[in-house]
Amino acid sequence: MSTASATRESARALARDRRRQAWSRNWRTFRSHRSGLIGLAILTGFAVVAVLAPLIAPAEGLEVTKATGGVLEPPSSEYWLGTDDKGRSVLTLLIWGARISLFVGLAATVISMVIGTLIGLTSGYFGGWAGAILFRVTEWFLVIPFLPLAIVMATVLGRSLLNIVIVIGVTSWPGTALLIRAQTLTIRERPYLERARVLGAGPSHQIRRHILPNVMPMVFANTTLTVAVAILTETTLSFLGLGDPTRVSWGSMLDDAFSVGAITTGAWWFIVPPGVCVVLVVLSFTLVGQALEEVLNPRLGAGR
């Protein structure tokens, strides 16, 4: 009895050790991707700003009634990035906008990942009729034109942050599902899984112990790329006036700028900074995602 538990203990330690080794090996490979590292640094910067927003720029700076600046003032020593049409500091808006963009991006990605992984795993592992039907459903969702859908849902359900998250989450999972299905299909045929089956492992054990750990790296890399798309989508939806009217995001700032005619009046400080922030964050997520893909996907790593 005690020997058995000792064996199990040492086996677990071995697994933990191996995992730690794999992590440090992956980290070393990742570090050799300069663009990925730069992306990671930029993202860390934005994340810190988003978390510390209340400390850096007090929340009352967002309230229209307490605005102290003039209308569309150009950058000055007091307002580094000028003011918006209501006299608020653009920098403050930008800092608080980071919170919304990152939150929506991450939350939508979580939804998309959960649905995508679940459906991809099931349709890949079980095959047969159920798998075929799930595959079909995935294909159907893949062709939903998401922007018209988002417009419709915002009209039907009203405008809120949650709706945006749901719309993005629901329309972005099929890509993930197809990817994971393909991975599961190849892993299912590998000898060690056959061995596990022969030894009497049930489907849940096989999925948890063998398939999931092998699929997870792909999911992880894909997640990063999905966040990029989700943030872009959030910005677009907010720009079209479909965002939460009570919150400031980069997209809603640009919507304001567009509708008050910041373009014709030449108030570049109201148009350029939010867009640059979007590009930086999305580009960083893309670069990190690409680097991760190359680190975690052995085929790509060896081939290129």
Partner 1 sequence: MTILGRADYGRGGESQEDNLDSASSGRHGTYGRYLLGRCLGSLGSLAFMLLLSFFLFRVLPGDPARTLGRGRFTTPEQLDEFKRTYGLDQPLPQQFLTFLQNTLSGDLGISLRYRVPVSDLILDRMWPTILLVGTSTILAGAIGIWLGVRGAWERGSKFDKVSTGGSLTLYSMPEWWLGLLFIAVFAVGWGPIPGLFPTGGLHSIDAEPGTISGVLDTIWHLFLPVLTLTLAYLADYALIMRSSLLDELGEDYLTTARAKGLRDVQVRNRHAVRNALLPTTTVVALSLGFVVTGAITIETVFSIPGLGLLATEALTVPDYWVLQGTFLVASFAVILANLAANLVYGLLDPRVRT
Asked whether 137 and 129 are in contact (CB, 8 A), the reply is no
Does residue 189 touch partner 1 according to CB under 8 A?
no
Binds partner 1 (CB under 8 A): choice among 61, 74, 87, 275: 275
281-300 positions binding partner 1, by CB under 8 A? 282-283, 286-287
Q: In angstroms, give the least distance from the CB of 137 to partner 1.
A: 8
Longest dimension (CA), the chain: 81
Place of tokens 């400390």: 55
Task: Read off the amino acid at residue 201.
Answer: A
Under DSSP, the state recorded for 89 is B
Does residue 152 touch partner 1 according to CB under 8 A?
yes
Asked whether 67 and 15 are in contact (CB, 8 A), the reply is no
Q: Residue 77: count other Cβ atoms within 10 Å of its Cβ.
A: 5
3-state helix, strand, coil in the chain (%, to 5): 80, 0, 20
User: What 3-state class would DSSP assign to 175?
Assistant: helix
Binds partner 1 (CB under 8 A): choice among 37, 110, 147, 182: 147
Binds partner 1 (CB under 8 A): choice among 53, 100, 153, 180: 153
Shorter beta-carbon distance to partner 1: residue 61 or 268? 268
DSSP string of 201-256, one letter each residue: --HHHIIIIIIHHHHHHHHHHHHHHHHHHHHHHHHHHHHTT-S-TTS--HHHHHHH
223-242 positions binding partner 1, by CB under 8 A? 228, 232, 235-236, 239-242
List the beta bridge partners of residue 83. 89
Shorter beta-carbon distance to partner 1: residue 217 or 294? 294
Q: In angstroms, give the least distance from the CB of 299 to partner 1.
A: 10
Does residue 196 touch partner 1 according to CB under 8 A?
no
Binds partner 1 (CB under 8 A): choice among 144, 186, 202, 298: 144
Shorter beta-carbon distance to partner 1: residue 22 or 132? 132
Under DSSP, the state recorded for 74 is P
Site string for partner 1, 104-143 (x = CB under 8 A): ----------------------------x---x--xx--x
In Å, how far are 181, 209, 219 from 184, measured between CA atoms?
5, 13, 12
Does residue 157 touch partner 1 according to CB under 8 A?
yes
Shorter beta-carbon distance to partner 1: residue 106 or 283? 283
Residues 6+ apart with CB under 8 A from 247: 100, 161
Binds partner 1 (CB under 8 A): choice among 108, 154, 168, 295: 154
Length of the chain counted residue by residue: 304
Shorter beta-carbon distance to partner 1: residue 222 or 235? 235
What is the binding site for partner 1 (CB under 8 A)?
Answer: 132, 136, 139-140, 143-149, 151-157, 228, 232, 235-236, 239-242, 251, 254, 257-258, 263-264, 266, 268, 271-272, 275, 278-279, 282-283, 286-287, 303-304
